[in-house]
Amino acid sequence: MSLSLTCVGSAKLINVSGEIDMSNAHLLTELVACACHSSAPPVITVDLSAVRFFSAHGVSALLEAQHIAVTTGAAFILRDPAPCATYLLATSGVLGDFRLNRGDGHRPRPRSTTVDLVTPARGDSLTSG
């Protein structure tokens, strides 16, 4: 999974690509929690358009991330969930619990603050040999 955070004022855009599974779903939740800590309640948009695999752990992570955002006064929006994410959110009965933005072209222009996080692919190691 790859995560990037782009900040425009109090608006935060988190782009997610790759696989969201049990090994990395918590990183998405942690990034949302960090993004919620600002002087003004932010709008957190999570772009899921580049997600290739989405597990039940991803569902849990998004529900937890939304809870964190709402309790801090932030708005939480899912943008363009990939078919695999939409399917699992719908079949688990929680798709309707999220505000969805389906490709209306509204993307905040990036400021100089961008953070890229990359987790190793399955089978890759974090240690060097």
CB 89 within 8 A of CB 81: yes
Helix (H) or strand (E) holding 26, with range, is: helix 25-35
pLDDT in tens, the chain (129 residues): 999 999 988 899 999 999 999 999 999 999 999 998 876 778 999 999 999 999 999 999 999 999 999 999 999 999 999 999 999 999 999 999 999 998 654 444 444 345 555 555 555 544 444
Compute the distance between CA of residue 70 and CA of residue 74 in angstroms, rounded to an integer.
5
Q: What is the pLDDT of residue 128?
A: 41
Q: Are strands 2-8 and 11-20 parallel, antiparallel or unpaired?
A: antiparallel
Q: What is the pLDDT of residue 9?
A: 82
Compute the distance between CA of residue 14 and CA of residue 24 in angstroms, rounded to an integer.
15
Please report the domains of the chain, with CATH numbers, ordered by start residue.
14-108 (3.30.750.24)
